Amino acid sequence: MLAKEIMTTDVITVGSDDTVEDVIKILLENKISGVPVINENKEVIGVVSEGDLIIRNQEIRPPAFIQILGGVIYLDDPEDFREELRKAFAYKVADIMTVVPATVDEDTPIEEIVTLMSGEGINRVPVVRDDKLVGIVTRADIIKSMAEKK
């Protein structure tokens, strides 16, 4: 079975200039857990998920470090800290979205999609044709296809 056989084609999307509050409303109203972020050409430039949103409420801890001979050695990645700060104080989708998300094309087999989702720890994969969004495959789509096989 291929992505085009199980994907949802009526995809709810947002733009990078939409607000975080807009995304929260969209997720709640549509009972979904994430949305692709597209540009004016319908190209996928990111994804916003519940995980990206709840990070706004987590405790932010600066990276651990030690000082030796006047220098600083970080024990945690300072870039991870910057990313947490960016998402915690985000107002626009561009500030909270996961940039360069995994995508698949219409002819990608389900087995590859499942492997990608499991390996990346993601719940949805945008489906593209010529770099343009044409659908989305979620874990629910995969489970539904499994039920239909029987």
CATH of region 3-149, choose from 3.40.1010.10, 1.10.3720.10, 1.20.910.10, 3.10.580.10: 3.10.580.10
| Boundaries of every domain in the chain | 3-149
Q: Which residues fall within 8 angstroms of residue 18, CB to CB, at 6 or more apart? A: 92, 93
Greatest Cα pair distance, the chain, in angstroms, is 67
Q: Is the pLDDT of residue 88 over 70?
A: no
For residue 89 the two structure tokens come to: 């104080």
pLDDT on residue 105: 95
Higher pLDDT, 150 or 148: 148
Task: Give the integer Cα–Cα distance in Å for 124 and 139.
Answer: 6
pLDDT (average), residues 69-92: 70
Eight-class DSSP state of 60: P
Instruction: Express each pLDDT in 21-63 by its tens digit.
Output: 899 999 999 999 999 999 999 999 999 999 888 865 556 566 6
Please give the full DSSP string across 76-95, using - where no structure is assigned.
Answer: S-HHHHHHHHHHHT--BHHH
